[in-house]
DNA sequence: TATTGTTATACTCTATAACTATA
DNA sequence: TATAGTTATAGAGTATAACAATA
């Protein structure tokens, strides 16, 4: 009897967890759509916008590859595209093998505009209250950092 | 002075929202990785597994296209692949134009196994307590349903 | 004429492998 | 020999457009 009700409770817990998992993915998809809409006025494809928003400091290409979770060769292509638009330049690194990707003045200006626009129009800001956001933060941190209890 | 501090508070709110947005996307990415790992033992590529988990009732292909957010022609391809593996069949719909994708017995068995495995091993279940999940649900619902307050 | 699913084809994003230039 | 970036090529995943069958 106790075993039975424990199993039922577990079943409910598992199916609720599954529902939450699917919701997280949906939220992220919505969030990406949102991002795409918000940057559309700036005329950059999503992957270039994403890269631009990452470039606080001049960064070696291999480091960008790591941050974006992609191959170095793809970074070459991204850098080419951003360079064509005058948003970044390749500058020398501490070693003649390294090339750093650095924002140009217009790249910096565009990044600042985009960051502000994207943050102000984010779903999280538009749809949640201050209190709700305060609750959400720690939960997301747990999901990202927790060592799979 | 009041204006200044209001602006500062707003700035903080916006940048916190931006941090949360990025975390949501990271969580979703982790969650997808997790999903991929959990279904790997079943030997289905991710897109087929995702489709299988969607098939509770026999569904017309155009409805699947809508649910998965992709073109009807891609559903044809998915259905072909699932059919080759004996997991689904095309059955007649209420109109001779419609074809419904329905799970076979082995499709149903596989789906049940996968659903259970995926739910039990989900990050949400493994990394959050019951209380934390109870907090997370309503927040996600707000993000998905809220009419952009 | 409008709709469902199919086919053939093309495109986008990204990885792999081979290459170069340094170190 | 090992590492950073580049080039050329290939693949996965998906869309587009034209089409066939049915309504």
What pLDDT is recorded for position A149?
43
**CA pair distance B103, B89, nearest whole angstrom:** 7
How distant is C1' of C11 from CA of B27, in Å? 30
The minimal CB distance from A122 to the residues B17, B30, B144 is found for: B17
How distant is C1' of D15 from CA of B54, in Å? 22
Dihedral sign for Cα atoms in the order B43, B47, B52, B53: positive
What pLDDT is recorded for position B149?
42
Q: Taking a C-beta distance cutoff of 8 angstroms, is the pair A79, A90 a contact?
A: yes
Q: Which residue of A has its CA nearest to B23?
A: A140
What pLDDT is recorded for position B147?
62
Q: What is the pLDDT of residues B73-102, one digit of tens each?
A: 999 999 999 999 999 999 999 999 999 999
What pLDDT is recorded for position A7?
80
> For residue A92, what are the β-bridge partners?
A99
pTM above 0.85, yes or no: yes
A70 Cβ within 7 A of any nucleic strand C atom: yes
What pLDDT is recorded for position A5?
72
Would you say residue B7 has pLDDT above 90? no
Contact B28 A27 (CB under 8 A): yes
Dihedral sign for Cα atoms in the order A74, A77, A79, A85: negative
How distant is C1' of D1 from CA of A69, in Å? 27
Looking only at the bridges linking them, the beta strands covering A59-60 and B59-60 are: unpaired
pLDDT band for A56, please (50, 70, 90 cuts). Answer: very high
What pLDDT is recorded for position A67?
93
> For residue B59, what are the β-bridge partners?
B101
A105 Cβ within 7 A of any nucleic strand C atom: no
Q: Taking a C-beta distance cutoff of 8 angstroms, is the pair B53, B111 a contact?
A: yes
Contact A23 B142 (CB under 8 A): no
List, in order, residues 6 or more apart from A106 with CB less than 8 Å away.
A86, A87
Average pLDDT for chain B: 93
Average the pLDDT over A86-103 and give the result. Answer: 97
E strands within chain B?
59-60, 88-92, 99-103
**Cβ contacts of B119 on chain A, cutoff 8 Å:** 14-15, 17-18, 21
The minimal CB distance from B136 to the residues A20, A28, A127 is found for: A20
Q: What is the pLDDT of residues B122-146, one digit of tens each?
A: 999 999 999 999 999 999 999 998 6
B76 Cβ within 7 A of any nucleic strand C atom: yes
Contact A123 B26 (CB under 8 A): no
Q: How many CB pairs (< 8 A) connect A and B?
A: 147
**CA pair distance A21, A13, nearest whole angstrom:** 12
Contact B127 A116 (CB under 8 A): no
What pLDDT is recorded for position B54?
94
| Helix or strand holding residue A92 (H, E) | strand A88-92
Would you say residue B2 has pLDDT above 80? no
Would you say residue B105 has pLDDT above 50? yes
List, in order, residues 6 or more apart from B130 with CB less than 8 Å away.
A13
CA distances from A69 to A28, A109, A112, B26, B67 (A): 18, 26, 24, 12, 28
What does the DSSP assignment read for B118-143? HHHT-HHHHHS-HHHHHHHHHHHHHH
Would you say residue A2 has pLDDT above 70? no
Residue B51 exposed, middle or buried by CB count within 10 Å (0-12, 13-18, 19+): buried
Contact A115 B18 (CB under 8 A): yes
How distant is C1' of C15 from CA of A31, in Å? 26
Structure tokens at B106: 């082995």
């Amino acid at each position: 009897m106790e075993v039975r009700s424990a199993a039922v409770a577990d079943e409910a817990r598992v199916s609720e967890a599954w529902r939450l998992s699917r919701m997280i993915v949906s939220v992220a998809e919505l969030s990406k759509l949102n991002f795409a809409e918000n940057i559309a006025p700036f005329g950059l494809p999503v992957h270039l916008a994403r890269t631009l928003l990452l470039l606080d400091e001049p960064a070696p290409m291999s480091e960008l590859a790591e941050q974006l979770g992609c191959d170095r060769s793809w970074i070459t292509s991204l850098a080419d595209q951003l360079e064509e638009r005058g948003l970044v330049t390749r500058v020398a690194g501490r070693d003649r093998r390294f090339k750093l990707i650095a924002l140009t003045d217009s790249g910096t200006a565009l990044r600042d505009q985009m960051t502000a626009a994207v943050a102000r129009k984010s779903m999280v800001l538009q749809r949640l209250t201050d209190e709700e956001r305060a609750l959400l933060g720690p939960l997301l941190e747990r999901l990202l950092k927790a060592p799979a209890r």
